[in-house]
Every structure is written in C-alpha cells, then in structure tokens.
Amino acid sequence: LDKSPAAPVLKVALPLPLDRLFDYAAPEIGRGWIGCRVSVPFGHRRLVGVVAAVGAADSEPTRIKAILQRLDAQPLISGELLQTLRWVAGYYHHPLGEVLATALPGPLRGTRPLPQVGETWLLLSATGRRALAEGAARRGSRLAALLARLGEGAQPAAALDMELPGWRDSARLPRARAWFDWREGAMAASADAAAVAGPALNEEQAAALAAVSAAIGSYRGFLLDGVTGSGKTEIYLGAIAQVLAGGRQALVLVPEIALTPQLLRRFRERLPGRVMALHSALADGERARVWLAAARGEAGVVLGTRSAVFTPLPNAGLIVVDEEHDAAFKQADALRYSARDLALVRGRALAVPVLLGSATPSLESLANAEAGRLQRLLLPRRAGAARPPSVRVLDTRGQRLQDGLAPELIDALASRVERREQMLVFRNRRGFAPLLACRACGWHAECERCDAAYTLHRQSRRLHCHHCDRERPVPEACPSCGSHELKPLGHGTERLEESLAQRFPGIPVIRIDRDSTRRRGALDEKLDAARSGDACILVGTQMLAKGHDLPEVTLVAVLNADAGLMRADYRAAERLAQLVIQVAGRAGRADKPGQVMLQTLQPDHPLLHTLLSGGYPAFAREELALRRATGLPPYVHHALVRAEAPDMVALRSFLQAARECAPASAGVQLHGPMPAPSERRAGRWRMQILLESSSRPDLQGLLGEWMPRLRALPQGRRVRWSLDVDPLEAD
Ligand SMILES: [Zn+2]
Ligand SMILES: [Zn+2]
C-alpha cells in the first residue's frame, strides 16, 4: 500500500454520531470507489461504511489503516441519491454516516453478501388455470382464495405472505401442487397478467392528469387537492402508467401500508407485475431485494412508507406522495427527516414531477401552492354520484351522557341498528378509561416516570402509560387513602366497545385500534367483516380515519372533538380539522348519503364553525392567515434542540452552555432553554431551545456554526440531545 503523504485515501462515512469522514488506505484508489461499501477496522471494532469521497489524507499518514474488505464492485449508492443524502446530512445537520445507514435497508448495512435480486413469484400453471375455471377448490377455503388471487396474475411470494397467511401450506397440498409454478426473477412473471381497466375519468380528473402528463420529463411539484372519494388514485395510476410505458420508474409513498391494503391491491390489479412494496412489515432480506431491484432499474413501481423515499431510482419518472398531510412522513427520532419534503428535493434533482395528494392538504403545502412553488390541481367533486355527508354538531354542555354518548347520538345509533346499517364511532383514545381515580380522596393513577395519567386497560388488567410504555397491575385499593372505590373516568375505545355491545345486543361491535390489531392479519379480518356490508358498529381510533373504504357506513360519530381544540400546540387545530374531515370522508361514499355527528363541549368554537360551514378549504384559509399574522410556520421556520436527562441540574447546565455558545445572528431568534410541554417522560426531565427565523438560509447558517460547538460541549455527555429541523411536534 502506498502510504506516502501524497497518496489519495478513501474518505469513509461510518455509522457513528461523529460529523466527519474517516481516512482509510486501499489499493488503486480512484473515483470508482465512491458509493461502494467497505468494511474497516475502527478501534477494536469492525464497521461497515460507505466511501463518500477520495482525496488527500487529513490524518497523519502513519496512522491511516487499510480497509479490511471492499464489499461492492459497483457503487451501491451513487449519482443523485448520494448527492441527495449529502444534502440531507447538511440540511438536518446529521452525520453523513448515519444518514447513509438510515437510507440502506438493514442487510446492506452488514458484511453479508447481497441478497439475490430475483424475488420468488408464484403463478398458475395450465392445470391451475383449469382448476380455477372448474372451481376445483372448496369455496371459501384458503386454497380457493389463493387460486383467485393468482387468477389475477402472478404474485410475489412476499405479497402473498402479507395477504394470505398460511398460503404456502395450501400450495403444498398434494392435489394442488401441480397447479402452481414458481419463478425467480422479479419482473419475469409480469407478462401473463392482464391489467384491470380503470373507470372513465371525469372532467376535473382528466384535466389534472393532463397537467401531470405534460410535466413528465422535467421537475414540477403538484398539489393534488381532492375531496375524499374524488378519485385521486386514478390520477396517480394514469400518470404512473405513462411513466412505465416510457420505461421509467415511479416511487409512491404512503403513510402506512398496513392501513392501506386496498390501495396496494388496486395498484397491483391495475399495474400487474409492476408493483413492489417496501415497508417495515417485510422481512429484512425482502426489503433489501426490493431496494436492489430498484437500484438496478428492475422495479417499475415501488410503493412504500417513509423510508422508501431513499429508494434508488436510476430511471426515475415520477414521485407520488399520497396523504401528504400525514405526520407519519416525518421521522420522530434519530434522523428527523420529512419524506414529503425529501420527495420534492429528489424530484428536483431527478428532474421528474412530484405529485402530493390529499383531501386535507398540510398548511405547508397550501402555502407552497399559494407562493407558486406547487401547482394546485383541484378535484372538488366526489367521483360518481356520491353525495358529501351532512354534519351535525351535538352540544354536550349540561347534557347527561350515557357511556359517553349524547342522547341524540344514541337515538341515531338505535335507528340505524334497527335498519341494520353500518356505523362508525370514532374516539381517539385507546384503552378502557383515560383515568383511574379514587372517589374518596381524589387520588388518580399517574405514571411515576412521566407527567401523565395511566390509561386503564381492562382486558389486560393493567395500567398502561402511553408515553413511556410502562405497565403495572391495577391496584386493589387507593394507595393514598385505602378506599376500594376506585373508578374509571372517561371512555376509551375498549369501554365504548363494551357499552355499545351491551346497549345494542345482536349487532356486532368491531373495535379497531392498536391493541385490537396487534396480531398480523387482524386488521384485515376486521375490515373484511366491515366490508362484507353486514350491519355493525365500528369503534376505533385514528386507524379508522386512514384511507379505508367503508361505503356502507351511514353514520360517523366523533366523540370528544374538544381534545384537539384545547391543546397548546399550534398545530392541534390543523390536525383536528384533518381528522374530522378524514373520518367524515369514510361515510356514505356510494349512493347512500352519510351523516356525521360531532360531540363537543365547545359548539361555538370558531374552528368548528368555519370547518362545518366552509369545509376544509375555508378552515385552511383562516388558519393560514392566523399563522401569518402570528408569525408561525409555514411563514417562519423552526428548529428545535431537545434535551433530556434524569438529572435536572445536568440538563440545565448543558442547555445554558448551549445557549451561551450560540453564534449571534440578526435573522434568528432563540427561545429558551424552557421546559418541554411534557416536562418529564420515562424518568427524564425534558427541556428545549426553539430557534425561529423567517429566512431558511439564516437559520441554516446559524445551525451550521452552532452544531459543531454543541457537539463539543463537555456538558453534552450527561444528557441526551437532538436537533429537529422543521419540527412537527412541539414536544
Ligand atoms: Zn383515595
Ligand atoms: Zn410513563
């Protein structure tokens, strides 16, 4: 190895919380190394990093070690993606090595050989097609379901694992074995399936699609602002079909795949053999395969969740972000990136159109449209003849609620039970009761490690802190006065399920929340029961507000709409408005008109008034004007330094030192150190410093100078701290 001072070295980004590259020696160093993974010695460890650059050594030549192994002959991350990841590291002030590790699927962060790109596919053989035609499998059996699914075209084994648990056993039954063919090679199987034709587009849809089509081949950002049921997906599918026909790739980001099985199914029907899913429910190896298939240009459409925004797209044609307002696109820890914002950054770098879709666009995107940075495409009508639901506000002040329900709501439910219809009761609180209190002395169960009450979960007989996940048994008696009169206060979904089942025996009550859908496939089973069209009452949290088609629902009840009106977070109003509109959108999609009932203690609240009289657009206009007048995002830019520690003194001394070493900048205001909204969580005290500026360059300039100083503070060793650029949560 050439260890002369002039010899170039590899500049390797390692997955460490250190904002620098590390010099390593290797033979025949040239630009072909950039983007390749290498395994290197680091102290007594062995790490895998990515070569970010080659150049002159910064370290003492004698101290430079040689790499242990080059893991890729060809760069794994290159071109636009590497450039974007560098941008990400700069914008979020996060070490490049950790950014690269975030972008790579798990198996690619290690030294094991790359998984085979060829996915396993299953398709029907000639005998299988005959078996399907003759109905050879027992109706309703898993085997029949498998035959039907494959009748639509070849399916990747990984997709079947998600959709039809246990299908492998069915496929191995002796009498059925010959019905199936296995294939390796991702897209080999696409040819034999016929695409399901889509519905004809209405005038607005056609205009929106034409606008996107005209932009293919260059960057343009679109905000597809369409009411629920207006057929946004048809615009995505139409544009993707054009991109595929041109031999290019499309990336589709959705908030949560488990919550949008219908969307995935629809994509697969319409674009058979072309859609690969990329999300956290996949096994690691499967994710790596999809990622590599995309990197080699073999995946036509990659449909994935937040981290899929880092998919390599050598033949990029289009990027779609569905439900762009959803907070799930923002990562809440480590590298706190916004996949929605990154989609726009990548679209620009790749020179492809980016389509952001929502029935309730984020105020950021609306402001971008207002400023001309996004072109707004409106779909104001529901596709088909479906009428929008009517909304009624139920004033619960001074009312005697029964099991948390107003008398008028109970009547409305009862009449629909009689007509054997479907109803949806929305309560954004899982568990049995949000509070367990003592009637005698007023004590209530509070988490010892957080500023929060325990939620009572009766089925599991536990008190559960939703902030730190701590659990403990339900006490027999009040720990403060010994009384046995402990009473659950308030109604969570578990309690609503129980009381509705008692009140309306003979109609199934289906609860959908994180507790009731933990088991794989449970959510789908519950939704299938709802989609069967049989009468039922659905009870659930915001999981129910996300993208599910429930056309038979004729009544949507929203309980405790107030919770969002009283929170201190300035985004609470926006979230509440989006939630109400999204939940309401579940009702009366087909020819049945839907009714929405909102239970509130503040019927005169201006937000509710605007939302109900003018809909989401009117609300958004008012809220944007308010944000502009009061100097809040999206009209100013925020960054938040959060810190936490078990020791309050250590915490204060770190943030004080941080504040003191902050460079002065006329364009940036610093606020704090101040306590976080939840001052204590999981036994740690929490404080923060908020930075505010109307100029992104000013804010970025300050952070660029400040972050290295912050990392060097000795007080930082006794606290956990992080930076959040463009925070979504105030906490
Ligand atoms: Zn007591
Ligand atoms: Zn807790």
Give the whole-angstrom CA distance, residue 554 versus residue 587.
6
Mean pLDDT over residues 525-529, rounded? Answer: 84
Residue type, 561: A
Q: What is the pLDDT of residues 132-150, one digit of tens each?
A: 988 888 888 899 999 998 8
pLDDT the model gives residue 275 = 87
Which ligand is nearest the CA of 451, by number?
A: 2
Give the whole-angstrom CA distance, residue 543 versus residue 212.
31
Task: State in Å: Cα 474 to ligand 1 middle.
Answer: 14
Give the range among 150-164, 631-645, 665-679 with minimum mean pLDDT.
150-164
pLDDT the model gives residue 159 = 81
């009381």: which residue's tokens?
A: 499
Confidence of residue 4 (pLDDT cuts 50, 70, 90): low
- How many other C-beta atoms lie within 10 A of the C-beta of residue 479? 11
Confidence of residue 605 (pLDDT cuts 50, 70, 90): confident
Task: State in Å: Cα 368 to ligand 1 middle.
Answer: 54
Task: State in Å: Cα 104 to ligand 1 middle.
Answer: 53
Give the range among 41-45, 542-546, 581-585, 651-655 with minimum mean pLDDT.
542-546
Strands 69-70 and 422-426: unpaired
Helix axis angle for 142-151 and 126-134, nearest 10°, is: 120
Confidence of residue 210 (pLDDT cuts 50, 70, 90): very high
pLDDT the model gives residue 185 = 56
Find the helix or strand (DSSP H, E) in which 599 lies. strand 595-600
Task: State in Å: Cα 495 to ligand 2 middle.
Answer: 22
Task: State in Å: Cα 639 to ligand 2 middle.
Answer: 26
Task: State in Å: Cα 586 to ligand 1 middle.
Answer: 43
Which ligand is nearest the CA of 444, by number?
A: 1
Which ligand is nearest the CA of 682, by number?
A: 2
pLDDT the model gives residue 408 = 95
Structure tokens at 9: 């070295």
Give the whole-angstrom CA distance, residue 415 versus residue 424.
14
DSSP H helical ranges for 549-647: 563-566, 572-584, 606-630
SS (H, E, C) 437-464: EECCCCCECECCCCCCECEEECCCCEEE
Distances (CA, A) of 509 to 417, 474, 528, 534, 585: 11, 26, 14, 11, 21
Phi, psi torsion values for 334, nearest 5 degrees:
50, -115
Mean pLDDT over residues 532-560, rounded? Answer: 85
Which ligand is nearest the CA of 485, by number?
A: 1
Neighbours of ion ligand 1 (CB under 5 A): 438, 440-441, 443, 478, 480-481, 483
Neighbours of ion ligand 2 (CB under 5 A): 447, 449-450, 465, 467-468, 470
Is the Cβ–Cβ distance between 706 and 657 less than 8 Å? no
């009468």: which residue's tokens?
A: 535
Residue 180 DSSP symbol: E
Task: State in Å: Cα 437 to ligand 1 middle.
Answer: 8
Give the whole-angstrom CA distance, residue 264 versus residue 668.
44
Task: State in Å: Cα 718 to ligand 2 middle.
Answer: 21
pLDDT the model gives residue 286 = 80
Mean pLDDT over residues 491-507, rounded? Answer: 95
Task: State in Å: Cα 391 to ligand 2 middle.
Answer: 37
Task: State in Å: Cα 450 to ligand 1 middle.
Answer: 21
Which ligand is nearest the CA of 464, by number?
A: 2
Which ligand is nearest the CA of 486, by number?
A: 1
DSSP string, 59-97: S-GGGPEEPSEE--SS-SS-HHHHHHHHHHHHHTT--HH
Give the whole-angstrom CA distance, residue 559 versus residue 542.
12
pLDDT beyond 90 at 632: yes
- Which sign, positive or negative, has the C-alpha torsion 598, 382, 535, 430? negative
Task: State in Å: Cα 453 to ligand 1 middle.
Answer: 15
Task: State in Å: Cα 500 to ligand 1 middle.
Answer: 30
Give the whole-angstrom CA distance, residue 431 versus residue 491.
8
Find the helix or strand (DSSP H, E) in which 188 lies. none
pLDDT beyond 50 at 17: yes
Task: State in Å: Cα 486 to ligand 1 middle.
Answer: 8
Distances (CA, A) of 275 to 11, 263, 363, 463: 37, 11, 31, 43
Give 631's contacts (C-beta < 8 A, 6+ positions apart).
Answer: 692, 694
Task: State in Å: Cα 472 to ligand 2 middle.
Answer: 11
pLDDT beyond 50 at 189: no
Confidence of residue 290 (pLDDT cuts 50, 70, 90): confident
pLDDT the model gives residue 181 = 75
Is the Cβ–Cβ distance between 142 and 167 less than 8 Å? yes
Task: State in Å: Cα 673 to ligand 2 middle.
Answer: 23
pLDDT beyond 50 at 537: yes
pLDDT beyond 50 at 123: yes
Q: Which of 466, 428, 463 is nearest to 450 (CA)?
A: 466
Q: What is the pLDDT of residues 164-181, one digit of tens each?
A: 888 878 887 878 877 887
Task: State in Å: Cα 7 to ligand 2 middle.
Answer: 55
């390593």: which residue's tokens?
A: 24
Confidence of residue 285 (pLDDT cuts 50, 70, 90): confident
pLDDT the model gives residue 260 = 67
pLDDT the model gives residue 328 = 94
Task: State in Å: Cα 450 to ligand 2 middle.
Answer: 4
Instruction: For the chain, give the mean pLDDT.
Output: 89
Task: State in Å: Cα 431 to ligand 2 middle.
Answer: 15
Give the whole-angstrom CA distance, residue 632 versus residue 693.
10
pLDDT beyond 50 at 685: yes
Which ligand is nearest the CA of 463, by number?
A: 2
pLDDT beyond 50 at 641: yes
pLDDT the model gives residue 102 = 94
Residue type, 299: A
Q: What is the pLDDT of residues 268-279, one digit of tens each?
A: 889 877 888 887
Give 221's contacts (C-beta < 8 A, 6+ positions apart).
Answer: 344, 347, 353, 354, 356, 368, 373, 374, 375
Give the range among 379-393, 445-459, 514-528 with minimum mean pLDDT.
379-393
Task: State in Å: Cα 485 to ligand 1 middle.
Answer: 8
Give the whole-angstrom CA distance, residue 574 versus residue 623.
8
Is the Cβ–Cβ distance between 73 and 55 less than 8 Å? no
Which ligand is nearest the CA of 681, by number?
A: 2
Give the range among 64-68, 456-460, 567-571 with minimum mean pLDDT.
567-571
Mean pLDDT over residues 551-572, rounded? Answer: 80
Which ligand is nearest the CA of 483, by number?
A: 1
Phi-psi bin for 143: left (phi > 0), alpha (psi -120 to 50), beta? alpha
Which ligand is nearest the CA of 487, by number?
A: 1
Mean pLDDT over residues 265-294, rounded? Answer: 83
Give 578's contacts (C-beta < 8 A, 6+ positions apart).
Answer: 325, 360, 616
Residue type, 154: A
pTM score, two decimals? Answer: 0.86
Q: What is the pLDDT of residues 404-414, one digit of tens each?
A: 999 999 999 99
Which ligand is nearest the CA of 439, by number?
A: 1
Task: State in Å: Cα 496 to ligand 1 middle.
Answer: 26
